[in-house]
Amino acid sequence: MRNGRVDLLSTDISDWSISLVDTGVDSPIGERLRRVRPYLEGDEIFLANYADVLTDAPLSDIVERFRAADAGASMMVVPPSNTFHCVDVGEDGRVGSITAVSEMPLWVNGGFFVLRQEVFDHIPVNGDLVADGCAELAKRGRLLAYPHRGYWRPSDTVNQRLELDQAWARGVRPWALWEHV
């Protein structure tokens, strides 16, 4: 990269166009997308994801479901992975029930998106993809959820990264779909 060249040695993505764009260290995700918009001209749909998540999600299925839908964006959603418990507390302070957050009928943003150009209409300068773009599309009935109950793990913290590294070393890597072909 120091000489400005990237050599493609062997790949199954020879028909791809890859651009490395400096979008700013402190830019929110929505602003990063706004800054790469010129590179997406002519693309009906495009993908975006948070680079700190590993999953076995079927991206081809997610894209095909989105293509068939009348939506401006699709967000993969996953059950919360925390080990916390939700506690139902009555007016008198007595606990009525305790439920693992992972067993509740909740979904969280899984960090994988299929988007149409329409999303740019809803992201202001220095805006956020989810809080601005997706929220506005949701208000308009234009946001599609793709629920995924398969493997999904973030690597936001040192402990999460350590767990993923240890799983890799043990050969437990369900996100490595290329190994299962």
User: Which CATH number is associated with domain 29-79+106-180?
Assistant: 3.90.550.10
Of all residues in the chain, the percent with pLDDT exceeding 90 is 72
* Domain coordinates in residue numbering, the chain: 29-79+106-180
Digit-coded pLDDT (tens) for 2-61:
677 777 676 777 777 778 889 999 999 999 999 999 999 999 999 999 878 999 999 999
This prediction has a pTM of 0.83
Among residues 34, 19, 29, 64, the alpha carbon closest in space to that of 49 is found at 29
| Burial letters 48-71, b for 16+ CB under 10 A, else e | bbeeebbbbbebeebeeebeeeeb
